[in-house]
Amino acid sequence: MVIKMEIVLLLGDITEVHADAIVNAANNQLWMGAGVAGAIKRKGGKIIEEEALQKGPIQHGDAVETTAGKLNAKYVIHAATMRNDGFITAESLRSSVLKSLQLAEKLALSSIAFPALGTGVAGFPVRECAKIMIETITSFSALTLQKVYLVLYNKQIYIAFQEELYKKKN
């Protein structure tokens, strides 16, 4: 039975969200430097990166899970949106979102929290990111996922995602 997922937009810090999984905007080597990855490592602990590095490298556009350390989650899903050189494409973004959703389903999770993947360090355009992420999430057929949080760290990004979600609903 397919479940109707609820998409919830939040303005704030993804490391504060209570969800079964928090998605890390990762590089395909899975080392955690700045941006979302750095915040996750600082708040959740180095155990997250240590486990990620044991699973890497992975394909550009793929995703793997690790422990969530001290975060309010069961897992961190590392979505390899970009290569370690910062290269990102619309296809790698789309693929890493889809692979993250599929992995959440495989783990029988009911909630997942995504940041605006690739819009920080990689510099992917915010509006294009919003469009790709909303399209990928809304077209996904969920069996266990009930809530998808899009946790956006500033008002400008929040508004871009809000507008894209509104367009998709109307």
pTM, two decimal places: 0.95
User: Distance between CA atoms of 63 and 28, rounded to whole angstroms?
Assistant: 9
The pLDDT value recorded for residue 86 is: 64
3-state helix, strand, coil in the chain (%, to 5): 40, 25, 35
First to last CA, the chain: 25
Per-residue pLDDT of 55-84, as tens digits, reads 989 998 999 999 999 999 999 999 999 876
Fold observed for domain 6-169: Leucine Aminopeptidase, subunit E; domain 1 (3.40.220)
Domain ranges of the chain: 6-169
Please give the single-letter amino acid code of residue 137: I
Report the C-alpha gap between 89 and 74 in whole angstroms.
Answer: 29
Token look-up 């009911």 returns: 110
Kindly indicate the confidence band of residue 4, based on its pLDDT and cuts at 50, 70 and 90: confident
Nearest residue to 60 (alpha-carbon basis) of 22, 33, 99, 102: 99
The phi, psi pair for 19, rounded to 5°, reads: -150, 160
